[in-house]
Amino acid sequence: MTVDLHGIIPALVTPFDADGEINERLFRDHVRFILNKNVHGVCLAGSTGEGFTFSPAELRQLTAATVEEVNGKVPVVAGIIANSTREVIERANAVKDLGVAALQVTPTYYVFNYGEEAMFQYFKQIWEETGIPLVIYNVIPWNLLGADLVVRMMEEIPGVIGIKQSQGNISRAAELVIRAPKGKAILAAIDDLLYPCFMMGAQGTLAASPTAAPGPCVALWNAVKAGDHDLARKIHDRLVIFWHLMGHENLPALVKYCLELQGCEVGVPRHPMPLPSAEQKAKIRPALEALLQFDPQLAKAA
C-alpha cells in the first residue's frame, strides 16, 4: 500500500472557546495558515490537537473540515487516541468516507502494557476492520513499541505504512530508518532534533514544532534536501533553543500562543489544560522571534 508521507507534517491545534466548544471557523483559518507555509501534509486530532478529548462526532467534524480546506493539496492524517480496539474502530469508521490518507493511532495508553502480541493484534485488527492505512504513533511512555515489533508490524500488516517515532528517542528512530521495509515512512517527532533526524534518513516529521514554527521547519527540510547544511545548522541551533523552552505539561496551549504571535488566532485549550503563564510567554517569545527569522515568507516581507 503506497501513501506518500514525507517532509513537514504539522500536528494541527484545535481552537476551543471558553466553554470547551470547537470553533470551526478558527480551525479552518488555522488549516489555511499552515497550508500557506508550503507544508507537505497535515495531521489533526493528535496530541497537539488535543485529540484525546474528542468525541467521535468532533473527530468527524474536524476531519471533514480539514479535508475540505486541504482540497487534495497534501495528505491529511486523522489522529485517534483511544484505549481499546473497539473505540479506535468506532472513530475510524466515523471518518472512513472522508478520504483521509491515513490514521495516526497510539497504542493503548491507560496504565497497563498488555505486551507485544496484544499490540500486534490491536493494529492488525484495526487495519483489517477499517481498511484505512495506519501510522503508528509511538508515544506512550509505559507502552513504547520496540523496533522488533514495529518492523514485524510493517512486514506483516499491509496497512501499517509508517511510524511517528516520538518520546525523544532518536536512537530508536535511527534504528527504524535502517531496518524498516522499503516504502515505509519513519516520521521523527523529536522536535529539537529534526536536523539530525533528516540527515540520518527519516522521511520527514509529524510533530508539534512544525505547527509552532512551520516556516522555519519547512526551510530546514528544504535546506537539508538542497545540501545547504550551513543554513540547516543555523535553523537547527535556533530550533533547539526555542523548543527547550516549550513546557510539556501544557504544550498545546504554548503552541497556540506561538501561532497567535504569528497572527493565527486559535482559541484556548480545553479545560483543565492551563493557559500559558506570563513566565512561559516571556521566555518563549524572543526565542520564537529569533527562529522566525528563517521563515522565508516573513524574511521576504521584511
User: Considering 37, 164, 184, 256, which one is annotated as catalytic?
Assistant: 164
Q: In what order do the strands lie in the sheet with 160-165?
A: 7-10, 204-207, 185-188, 160-165, 134-138, 102-105, 76-80, 42-44
Residue 210 near residue 262 (C-beta atoms within 8 A): no
Residue 185: closest CA among 40, 64, 302: 40
Q: What's the CA gap between 210 and 214, in Å, rounded?
A: 4
d(CA 194, CA 207): 10
Angle between helices 170-179 and 147-156 in degrees, nearest 10: 40
CA-based R_g, the chain, Å: 18
From 137, 184, 256, 257, the catalytic residue = 137
Respond yes or no: is residue 137 known to be catalytic: yes
Helix spans in the chain (H):
24-35, 56-70, 85-95, 116-130, 147-156, 170-179, 194-199, 209-212, 214-226, 229-243, 251-261, 278-291, 296-301
Instruction: Confirm if 283 and 245 have CB atoms less than 8 A apart.
Output: yes
> Is 164 tagged catalytic?
yes
Burial of 227 (0-12, 13-18, 19+ CB in 10 A): exposed
Compute the distance between CA of residue 18 and CA of residue 175 in angstroms, rounded to an integer.
44
Torsion, Cα of 32, 33, 35, 40 (10° steps): -140
Residues with catalytic roles: 137, 164
